[in-house]
Amino acid sequence: MSERRRDEKKEEKEEKEEEKKGEKEEKWRRDRGNALVWAAILIWGALVILAETTDYKENFSWWEGWAVFFAGAGAIVLLGTLIRLLKPEHRRPVIGVLILGFILLGIGLGSLVGAGWVWVVILLVLASIILISAFFRRR
């Protein structure tokens, strides 16, 4: 009889875990933040290509298509991360996304204004973010 009771408790525990998993999946399905960020990056890319093909870039001496694209994509990713951090219902770990955003920004700005100091600043910012997250990790 105790074995049967153990089996029932085990089944109840598994059902509760499945419910929690389903709630998490539902929460992330409602989260449109990632879709908006990727759509914004694609729109930004289309605008950069449009500027390249219509000679709009001739108005700007500093214009380099790929550099402008990467800088803009990095800024979009970082803005999306900031919005995610400000909205409690969509908060989740963002260290990887921050790293990606700063790397994209570094690729773009490094080509536009000079790679030397840009990469120093970006690497210091990334190291600071990693250290802060290591010491102030939420449980």
pLDDT tens for the chain, 139 residues long, are 567 777 777 777 777 777 666 555 555 556 677 888 999 999 999 999 998 888 787 888 888 889 999 999 999 999 998 888 887 776 777 788 888 999 999 888 888 887 778 888 888 988 988 888 788 765 5
Q: What is the pLDDT of residue 69?
A: 94
Query: CB of 118 within 8 A of CB of 109?
Result: yes
Does one domain contain both 39 and 16?
Answer: no
The model's pTM is 0.69
Query: CB of 103 within 8 A of CB of 122?
Result: yes
Does one domain contain both 25 and 81?
Answer: no
Q: What is the pLDDT of residue 25?
A: 57
Does one domain contain both 53 and 95?
Answer: yes
Domain count, the chain: 2
d(CA 87, CA 101): 19
Does one domain contain both 76 and 51?
Answer: yes
DSSP type of residue 52 = H
Does one domain contain both 2 and 65?
Answer: no
By residue range, what is the domain housing residue 118? 33-135
Of the CA atoms within 13 Å of residue 125, those in its CB half-sphere come to 16
